[in-house]
Amino acid sequence: MILSDNEIRILLRAGELGIEPLDEEIIRENGLDLRLGSSYCIMKDTDKILDPRNPGDPNDYYDCREANEIIIPPRTHVLLHTLEYIRLPSYIAGLVNLRSTWARTGIYVPATVVDAGFEGELTIEVIGSQFPVKLYQGERFLHLVLVKMGIPASPYSGTYKGQRGVRLPKFFVRPG
C-alpha cells in the first residue's frame, strides 16, 4: 500500500517516520519530494579497473566536491545526496523516482529502493542528459514513494545506515 500525504503526516506526528529538516512543502499527495544536498561526486572517465576486492584509492574513480550549484555533464554519472535525513520504520520501504520536471531534461535516475528501517541521507546516482543540466542545492529533485509492508522487516543494519553526504560504494570503507 502506498502512503498518502495524510498517512505520512500521521506517522510524522507519532514519531514513527523522521525527516530532518522537515519542510511541509516536500509532503506530496503520494510521497515526499526530497531536496538536493551540497555534496556530489562525478565518476571519472578512466581505464583503471575498479576491483571491489582491492579497490585502491577512490580518488582514482571519483571527483568529489561541495557546491550550491552542480552541473551534470552530458552522459556522465554523478552521485548526489538528499538534503533530508530520513528515518523509516521497519514496516515502511521507499521507492525513489526522479521528479517528472527533471526527467523531462533527459537526466536519469536508476531504480532505487530504500530499505525498511533505513535512516540517513540518500545517495543517488544521476546519469547526465545529452546536454549539461544545472541543479541547485535545496531544489526539490527526487520523489520518494513510501510503501507499507504487510509484515515488518528485520532491522536494517547495512553499511549505509546513518550516512550523511555522498557515500561511495561500501568496498571503499575499510573496517576498523
* Residue positions annotated with a catalytic role: 125
Report angle CA 4, 81, 110 to the nearest 5 degrees: 70
- Residue pair 106/129 in contact (Cβ under 8 Å)? The answer is yes
Going by C-alpha positions, the residue among 58, 57, 63 that lies closest to residue 44 is 63
State which amino acid sits at residue 10: I
- Residue pair 21/87 in contact (Cβ under 8 Å)? The answer is no
Going by C-alpha positions, the residue among 69, 59, 5 that lies closest to residue 32 is 5
> Per the structure block, which three cell numbers stand in for 62?
571519483
d(CA 150, CA 167): 30
